[in-house]
């Protein structure tokens, strides 16, 4: 059972600790928000902070609740933000083509929405791009040179194909 952030009561009471899931909770709650067992609660040391702590299921480190993502329905995930980031990066690396297909499908199905958004925010987008290019000029130049070197032959071949196609069209 997930933890619902809406049910958390912040107070300066003695903090409690669930025996099953090791989640720090307030005495006033009477039962654990994660495993919902009344008998599983034991009294723990007083915490210096007013924040509630939660133990990540992946790295087994005790972190504040602000270190965990919250779902739309108010439940907090079992893994901290850092572990979630690592997990999603591994998934993307292992499923590159699947992710590309998903993004392509999304862009195609939301084409009109994306176009409308760009039209509404054109000036703001251009302003942000200009700021980024000014701040990262050297980095962008080095990336451009690197890309050019890697794709030099391909560009030549594409140019020759286009030229040949144009010549063949003119002769017909």
The 10s digit of each residue's pLDDT in 22-39 is: 555 544 444 555 555 554
Q: In angstroms, rounded to a whole number, what is the distance separating the alpha carbons of residues 65 and 157?
A: 55
pTM above 0.85, yes or no: no
Contact 18, 32 (CB under 8 A): yes
Q: What is the pLDDT of residues 68-105, one digit of tens each?
A: 888 888 888 899 999 999 999 999 999 999 999 999 99
- Which residue in the block uniquely carries the two structure tokens 């039962």? 31
């Amino acid at each position: 059972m997930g933890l619902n952030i809406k049910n958390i009561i912040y107070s300066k009471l003695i903090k409690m600790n669930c025996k099953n899931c090791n989640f720090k909770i307030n005495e006033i709650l009477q039962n654990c928000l994660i495993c919902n067992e009344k008998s599983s609660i034991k009294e723990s040391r007083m915490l210096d902070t007013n924040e509630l702590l939660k133990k990540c299921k992946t790295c087994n480190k005790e972190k504040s609740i602000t270190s965990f993502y919250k779902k739309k329905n108010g439940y907090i995930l079992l893994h901290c933000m850092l572990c979630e980031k690592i997990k999603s990066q591994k998934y993307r690396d292992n499923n590159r083509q699947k992710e590309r297909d998903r993004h392509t499908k999304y862009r195609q199905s939301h084409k009109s929405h994306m176009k409308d958004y760009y039209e509404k925010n054109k000036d703001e987008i251009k302003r942000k791009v200009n700021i980024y290019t000014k701040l990262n000029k050297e980095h962008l130049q080095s990336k451009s040179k690197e890309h050019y070197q890697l794709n030099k032959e391909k560009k030549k071949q594409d140019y020759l194909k286009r030229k040949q196609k144009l010549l063949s069209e003119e002769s017909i």
